[in-house]
Amino acid sequence: MPAITTNELKNGITLELENGLFQVVEFQHVKPGKGGAFVRTKLRNVRTGNVFDKTFNAGIRVEQAMLDKKDMQFLYRDGDDYVFMDTKTYDQLNIAPVSLGSAIDYIVESMVAIIAIYNDEIVSVEIPASVEMLIAKTEPGIQGDRVSGARKSAELQTGKTIQVPLFINIGDKVKVDTRSGEYLTRV
């Protein structure tokens, strides 16, 4: 792993620190009038997603982690595991649900995800910001129930429950924001 100085930090770089893998979200070089320069950073834990602030002295060396990011297509479920295929080499990889995190609620067959691997461990799964999914279960909208902005529960084809407008029915295709889990529009 290459060691870089804190002066070489950029947004998006992944660092291996004593307590895990962290991605630089934001950084700022500070040169106060008195004392030595330092670098103020905002780091995101790659495994948990927690964001925190950390200050480094300018010029110290930190280990840069080299993540292998691959475009992988979801093929099918094999027991509890999800089987993905590398879109370039066609190699298949079984991934445990715990490694997929919150992305598991939005993964459907033939969806392509960017999977980051570090030392044969899956550290993150990136899916599109919005996905189109079918409504599997919901109560029918009642005639005359026209309150503006009224919502009801609906279950997506993956089992995730979201709030949708009253006019959505079973079998409708909807667009869902994968970051917040909110209904966006009917397709």
The structural domains of the chain, with segments of one domain joined by +, span 3-64, 68-126, 130-186
Reference 178, options 78, 100, 117, 96; nearest CA is 100
The CATH superfamily holding the domain 68-126 is Nucleic acid-binding proteins (2.40.50.140)
Confidence of residue 173 (pLDDT cuts 50, 70, 90): very high
- Domain 130-186 architecture: Beta Barrel (2.40)
- CATH topology identical between 3-64 and 68-126: no
What pLDDT is recorded for position 142? 67
The position carrying tokens 């080299």 is 66
What's the average model confidence in pLDDT over 92-99? 87
What's the average model confidence in pLDDT over 128-147? 81
Reference 173, options 142, 144, 130, 115; nearest CA is 130
24 alpha-carbon distance from chain centroid: 16
Confidence of residue 145 (pLDDT cuts 50, 70, 90): low
Confidence of residue 73 (pLDDT cuts 50, 70, 90): very high
Predicted TM-score (pTM) of the model is: 0.73
The CA-to-CA distance between both ends of the chain, in Å, stands at 46
The residue type at 104: I
What pLDDT is recorded for position 100? 84
Give me the percent of the chain exceeding a pLDDT of 70. Answer: 95
What's the average model confidence in pLDDT over 160-164? 91
H or E, element range at 100: helix 97-100
What pLDDT is recorded for position 121? 83
The position carrying tokens 């919150």 is 102
| Alpha carbons 12 and 15: distance in angstroms, whole number | 10
Instruction: Name the fold adopted by 3-64.
Output: SH3 type barrels. (2.30.30)
Confidence of residue 49 (pLDDT cuts 50, 70, 90): confident
H or E, element range at 116: strand 112-118
Q: Say if residue 74's pLDDT is above 90.
A: yes
